Structure 1
């Protein structure tokens, strides 16, 4: 008797369809023609490192290219000479797989290919959230088949992370694929000719900057990135860009807020959650407190707001940035914080694309910069605020909690000509013995000294590119150290 709700042959036929390399030895050209995301270079080593007996969980927001990355990973395995009939891709949302367990599907793959020995296999389960109790199934597979690498992906990010943390200790390795960085946008559209290494250096030469060879053209693409650049599919499609709300809001935002299991976080009023997210999106980069959020949202209970923010954070839609003061002191009781969208194009989708002269452009440029820093899970950037001043972005030494660097994010050339007007930044640097700081501009670049502080000016687009590029380099080093 078949273990499947449909005939076993029907299921096997679907498996053959999803795995054309079982016959051809190749991934479909539709996927091989696509440029891989740069994050693939970080993900692939985790898949092929068989010294660690864990399943790899690829998670992230909707439409950031997780499925395409899985196919590019399959392509890499084939190019390295792995047996094509021991590589299986299974999309769990496919109707003929309904109610089938992961082990049943893996068993049928072995039976269909004739490769019965459960060793040397790479098994990819896409959209794993469609299987009830997937984490229990996956943990059992990891324990039962030590010679097999299991890789799963899912878009219900909040639920996926929660269940992975609860059930996968010691069995799962999580990998977050975020929205596109500006560096990846430049890479995918093959625009690297717009930049070249700069003589400017930061942090005693630890970080090299870039010169924009055509700042006007780079800023045009930076604005396009801000409005549409978070998702690979969108940057290549003019039709989607003409109506981003229809694509991003309905296919990405609404499904996260309405379908991706907000009940896990005790959320019953989805409309209330939706309203809160819209308000945050419009005000991305502003400082909030639970007291203020409660008033703005019509008196929603503070504990309820905490759950909403926790869910939106777990769903990779927003990030909180905590506050310190001009002496970088840590507050015992955190009452104020900033909230940023993890991807500035979410705002454009909810409301309308923004222009370079829009009143909100400064806050959205700040959101774009912070969205690159959010990819560094080993750093928690802060902002400093005190009664007479504010600095947009600071980094603390994790041992001494002393400031290491400071950045003022501006979409203006004014402060290049008038550095003395950067009173808050200069005051913060003096109070914390910082000898240098970074200031972003529209298109001015150079170094000036003011009140004994070296100010490195760099166009915001270039700085955003640099943060994303260096993040990937540092992530690659960290993954390499972990594997070695």
Structure 2
């Protein structure tokens, strides 16, 4: 029997990097698909990062990470980098498994030994989750080859935003979340029609007469809009819930990704995810989940960690009526990372369905997934006799202070019971009066009501949830 070796790997690298054969003097123009709103912040990390420090591009499957990496390859070459100084390899390719990516970088450097002096080289390594101890290896390769900007893309295993805010992982992280509502409108060609002005500069020129149309778009987004393939190209017009169910949930929960994290009970994992999706935007407890799924608590925590690292769910910390975090987290609020997961599992929903308000809240929360500093500082409040849907702080450090002061208080009011002229939002008002300093944003997210008023000297704005979700693009880092 013959075995393959280094020469076979070299041939595969030539196959994966056809631009190595291009002329340095006349770099071509690459065909460019639509860019995600997150492309520029990713490009900045790649082009301006510290020497010897890698970049990790993290996000769920099928959101366009590989497309974004190829767009970055095109940008570098069109910007003057030698085509032979840019490498792309997918570590899901079995040909690369035996040699490892350290050897791949060595071969890349050997190939460019005569032309690389004084130049920055770029190595893009897709599907890094196929490397068992990828974090250790990535930091070692970046340190040992400071002339090469190492960029790794992966769908699971990156530390969560709060962990990164607490402790430097040793590499820079760029996030590519599911499609935002603003991107959804842009990809469908509806943004300019609904908003006018210059959406690219975050300048809203919204006419309230368009609110009904915007709410219809939000409904489409909730049911179909989380992933580029369900909006663009060949998938356009196809039943997106089937695409998400068959193309994503199946792959994440029933194939190789979970096994790389030592999870063998895929049926139990799927049951847990389905249960969490059904309870999106609700508070759940470890006790309840263990009782319902029949999964041991320690195993359950492992499964929850995996589902979160694989970008299927996010857990939100709980604070009490004094805005202080609980020392022992036995309950948490859960969100699926795209509301379209719900439609994929349980069927499309309509605005008058009982669950719809929770899916609107989920849609609002997920707009922040690309803004790590904001998402790490978001919590919810729950205590006996009261709750607040979302409580935000200036940053994670403020959230953890002994006397935290929230700067964002949000209550969902889709059915507009609080925004009318009745008793008003008593619980919200009391929470703000007890914990805030007067500079906070206090919002009721409504179906179609726009109103600013005062309740017991607390300024409260009623804002349509669809308009607010669109505007959250302004929270993305520059």
The answer to whether TM tops 0.5 is yes
Where does residue 479 of structure 1 map in the other structure?
Answer: none
Indicate the SS of the match to 1:223: helix
Distance 1:112 1:387, change over 3 A: closer
Residues 210 and 466, structure 1, Cα contact 8 Å, conserved in 2: no
Distance 1:370 1:212, change over 3 A: farther
What is the aligned-residue RMSD (CA, Å)? Answer: 3.3
What is the deviation of 1:274? Answer: 0.8
Cα offsets for 1:181-203 (capped at 9, x unmatched) = 21222333343322268xxxxxx
Residues 66 and 177, structure 1, Cα contact 8 Å, conserved in 2: yes
Where does residue 444 of structure 2 map in the other structure?
Answer: 439
Aligned residues: 456
Indicate the SS of the match to 1:179: coil
1:336 and 2:335 aligned: no
1:11 and 2:4 aligned: no
Distance 1:396 1:45, change over 3 A: closer
For residues 412 and 195 of structure 1, the distance between their equivalents in structure 2, rounded to whole angstroms, comes to 25
Equivalent in 409, 427, 430 of residue 427 of structure 1: 430
Distance 1:21 1:360, change over 3 A: farther
Equivalent in 223, 227, 230 of residue 227 of structure 1: 223
What is the deviation of 1:41? Answer: 0.9
**Equivalence map 1:83-482=2 (5 Å):** 83-94=82-93, 96-97=95-96, 99-106=98-105, 108-109=107-108, 116-117=115-116, 119-131=119-131, 133-135=133-135, 137-155=137-155, 157-158=156-157, 161=159, 171-193=170-192, 194-195=194-195, 211-213=206-208, 214-236=210-232, 239=235, 242-262=238-258, 267-297=263-293, 299-378=294-373, 379-396=376-393, 398=398, 399=401, 400-418=403-421, 420-433=423-436, 435=438, 437-467=442-472, 469-472=473-476, 475-476=477-478
Residues 434 and 453, structure 1, Cα contact 8 Å, conserved in 2: no
What is the deviation of 1:387? Answer: 2.7
What is the deviation of 1:3? Answer: 7.2
Indicate the SS of the match to 1:122: strand
Distance 1:326 1:18, change over 3 A: same
What is the deviation of 1:229? Answer: 1.7
Residues 416 and 457, structure 1, Cα contact 8 Å, conserved in 2: yes
Distance 1:361 1:309, change over 3 A: same
What is the deviation of 1:169? Answer: 7.4
Cα offsets for 1:253-297 (capped at 9, x unmatched) = 222223354356553322111101001101111111111112222
Residues 324 and 384, structure 1, Cα contact 8 Å, conserved in 2: yes
Residues 122 and 151, structure 1, Cα contact 8 Å, conserved in 2: yes
Distance 1:98 1:357, change over 3 A: same
Gaps of 5+ in 1: 198-206, 477-484
Distance 1:364 1:140, change over 3 A: same
Indicate the SS of the match to 1:62: coil
Where does residue 481 of structure 1 map in the other structure?
Answer: none
Distance 1:329 1:46, change over 3 A: closer
Distance 1:212 1:354, change over 3 A: farther
Gaps of 5+ in 2: none
For residues 368 and 72 of structure 2, the distance between their equivalents in structure 1, rounded to whole angstroms, comes to 26
Distance 1:254 1:431, change over 3 A: same
Indicate the SS of the match to 2:270: helix
Indicate the SS of the match to 2:335: strand
Indicate the SS of the match to 1:420: coil
What is the deviation of 1:144? Answer: 3.0
Where does residue 482 of structure 1 map in the other structure?
Answer: none
User: Structure 1 length normalisation: TM-score?
Assistant: 0.83
Distance 1:22 1:105, change over 3 A: farther
Residues 448 and 464, structure 2, Cα contact 8 Å, conserved in 1: yes
Where does residue 57 of structure 2 map in the other structure?
Answer: 58
Distance 1:141 1:384, change over 3 A: closer
Residues 322 and 435, structure 2, Cα contact 8 Å, conserved in 1: yes
Residues 5 and 99, structure 1, Cα contact 8 Å, conserved in 2: no
For residues 187 and 434 of structure 1, the distance between their equivalents in structure 2, rounded to whole angstroms, comes to 37
